[in-house]
Structure 1
Amino acid sequence: MTDSGDVRTQVVAAAKAMDAAGLVVGTAGNVSGREADGTIWLTPSALPYGQMGIENLAAVDLDGNLLEDTARPSTEKAMHLACYRAFPEVGGVVHCHPIHASMFAVAHKSIPAVIEEVIVYLGGDVRVTDYRPTGTDELGEEVVRHLGDRSAVLMANHGMLCIGESPDHALHAALVAEHTARIVWGASRLGDPVDLPERALSDFTGAYTYLRRETWAAP
């Protein structure tokens, strides 16, 4: 869990880095972070990332109630809040629309865990949810269903959501997932991607489980 004085700064930094990395277009996507006291800071709706500062963020509680005199939060806050309610160890959430990962989401195909780092950092293959409308509680529930042992999930016909111990950590998960999607897409042009050996899958899954349990500090 990120120290309270750093959460807003990390949310803005992750949002700007997400935009710079090409994981979103325009004002799409959103980022959030949780303070130790439970306050959640979310990026606002319809504000270009280049203009965003900590003063533009919205503060909400776990029920979605607006705290303080802050901005209107993203319309997709429900899935952020669902992640924080379900997983006390999570301190950051990133939702984005990267090109290659989104192609998998539109095709309703998981990004396979054919590279070791995918298992270490994401927990395994990046699975696809059933379709649920954007901004609904149902989408939040569907996303959470796939994140108990993963750091990334694809939303059918939509994009991707990633979790982490901080906003920066969640952004790293998104970058790993998109990098892998691009490699798998390219490899599929050469032939069928080859799975890792079962022993490697088991060993690296254990590493992810340990890191999430022991190093993601719950409040």
Structure 2
Amino acid sequence: MTDETDVRTQVVAAAQAMAAAGLVVGTAGNVSGRDGDGTIWLTPSSLPYDQVTETNLAAVDENGNLVPDTGRPSTEKAMHLACYRAFPEVGGVVHCHPVHASMFAVTHQPIPAVIEEVIVYLGGDVPVADYRPTGSDELGAEVVRHLAERSGVLMANHGMLCVGRSPDHALHAAMVAEHTARIMWGARRLADPVDLPEKARTDFAAAYAYLRHQTWVAG
């Protein structure tokens, strides 16, 4: 969590980088960040990312109440709020629909952690949350259920959500997950992918846990 100006700048930068990387199409997806007083800044609803600025972001308090004179928040506001309420160390949330990760989401398959960086940055395999209606409190609760030891979760028949110590950190997790999903999609055409050794998985998972619980708060 950082000051208000920094968070707003990070939300805009992450949103535009997310679009530029092809993780969303049109106005799909959303990005948020939490500032030092607990205010959540979110990308506004139905606005193209190249038009998102610090002045038209939406803001809500910790109870979800709209801050006066700010933009209209995304319909996925409840999902973002659920992440912040459940995890005090989280300072940024990215919701996107990347092509390869979404292939896993619509087939209800987790993205396997067959590459070391997936465990370091995401905690392990990216799990699949059960289907819940878009924008619902139920979706927020279901997503949070999978994020205690992970930075990313697939939403069945929907897309992906990632958390981090800041918006740009959450975006990086999303990009690692999508990169891995693309590798897995191709690798399975060649042969059955080979898992990492169990000791490597355990060691890198411990590194993820340490970083999340010891460094994210200072993010």
Report the Cα distance in structure 1 between the residues aligned to 2:41 and 2:7, rounded to whole angstroms: 8
1:32-71 aligned within 5 A: 32-71=32-71
What's the counterpart of residue 22 of structure 2? Answer: 22
Q: Secondary structure at the match of 1:71?
A: coil
- 1:119 aligned partner: 119
* Identical amino acids, percent of aligned pairs: 80
Q: Which range is displaced more, 66-75 or 79-88?
A: 66-75
What is the Cα deviation at residue 218 of structure 1?
6.4
User: In structure 2, what is the equivalent of residue 201 of structure 1?
Assistant: 201
In structure 2, what is the Cα distance between the partners aligned to 1:206 and 1:4? 32
Q: Structure 1: how far apart are the matches of 2:198 and 2:134?
A: 36
Does the 8 Å contact 1:88/1:218 carry over to 2? no
- What is the rounded CA distance, in whole Å, between the counterparts of 1:182 and 1:5 in structure 2? 35
Q: Deviations over 1:44-81 (max 9, x none)?
A: 11100011111110110122100121111000111000
Residue identity opposite 2:161 in structure 1: L
Give 1:26-175 correspondences, 5 Å limit: 26-175=26-175
Q: Is the 8 A contact 1:29 1:95 kept in 2?
A: yes
> What is the SS of the residue equivalent to 2:217?
coil
| RMSD (Å) for aligned C-alpha atoms | 1.0
1:41 alignment partner AA:
W
Q: Distance in 1 between matches of 2:195 and 2:3?
A: 39
Q: Deviations over 1:145-169 (max 9, x none)?
A: 0000000000000000000000000
Unpaired segments of 5 or more residues in structure 1?
Answer: none
Whole-angstrom CA distance in 2 between matches of 1:199 and 1:2: 36
Residue aligned with 2:177, SS: helix
Q: Tell me by how many angstroms 1:5 deviates.
A: 2.3
Structure 1 CA distance for aligned equivalents of residues 63 and 133 of structure 2: 20
- Contact 1:128–1:153 at 8 Å: present in 2 too? yes
Amino acid at match of 2:61: D
TM-score of the pair, normalised by structure 2: 0.98
Unpaired runs of 5+ in structure 2? Answer: none
AA in 2 matched with 1:209: A
SS in 1 for 2:180: helix
**In structure 2, what residue type is equivalent to 1:182?**
R
1:28-56 deviations in Å (ceiling 9; x for gaps): 00000000100000001110001111111
